[in-house]
Amino acid sequence: MTWPLHIKLNKSNYPISVVQRTVYALARDLSIIIDGDEDSNHIVLNVQPTIIISDQNPNTLDSDKAREIVIRMLNDFILRERVGEETRGLREIIAHAALKEAGIRP
């Protein structure tokens, strides 16, 4: 159980938008600071368990589990980013078609 946990990420694999969404999603249980590195290809995440709000007893959340959670969440947001890229604009098309049928002019 070694806190704070440091996770080094390659920027080209993990764009900043993915990292930010991950930090937001995990905010209840993990307090994460995003640090740039000297080497501009990397970001480092400084991870601590939250104390104030979390229902989790901080003693039961070990840093290995936390690392797993963070990596998994990062990878999930990468997937979401890929879906988003490929489907860009489609949500608007669907909503537009739906509202047009209803006689609502956008």
Partner 1 sequence: MSYLENIIASEYKYRLLPFRFIRLGTKKTNDVLITSETGEYLFTTEEKLNALINKKIPKGSWFYKALLARHFIYEPEGHNPIQEMAAQYKSRKSFLVGGPALHIFVVTLRCNHTCQYCQVSRAPVGGHTHDMSEYHARLAVDRMFESPSPALTVEFQGGEPLLSFERIKQIIEYISEKNAAEKRDIQYVISSTLHHINDEILTFSKVHGIQFSTSLDGPNFLHNTNRPTPEKNSYERTLHGIEAVRSELGHDNVSALTTLTSKSLLYPEEIIDEYVKIGFNSISLRPLSPYGFAKKSSQRLDYSVNEYLKFYKRALDHLIKINSEGTFIAESYTSLLLSSIMTPFSSGYVDLRSPLGAGLGALIYNYDGGVYPSDEARMLKEMGESDLMLGTLDQPLEQLLTSVQMEILLSSGIIEGLPGCTDCAYLPYCGADPVEHYARSGDPIGHRSFSDFCTRNMGLLTHLFTLLRDGERSTQRVLVSWLTRRSFNDISSYGCEI
Residue closer to partner 1, measured from CB, 33 or 90: 90
Residue closer to partner 1, measured from CB, 17 or 41: 17
Q: Closest distance between partner 1 and the C-beta of residue 98, in Å?
A: 4
Long-range contacts of 76-82 (CB under 8 A, 24+ apart): 77/18, 77/21, 77/22, 77/25, 78/13, 78/14, 78/18, 80/21, 81/15, 81/17, 81/18
Residues that bind partner 1 (CB under 8 A): 21, 24-28, 53, 55, 76-77, 79-80, 82-84, 86-87, 90-91, 93-95, 97-104
Residue closer to partner 1, measured from CB, 41 or 94: 94
Q: Closest distance between partner 1 and the C-beta of residue 10, in Å?
A: 20
Q: Closest distance between partner 1 and the C-beta of residue 15, in Å?
A: 15
Residue closer to partner 1, measured from CB, 6 or 91: 91
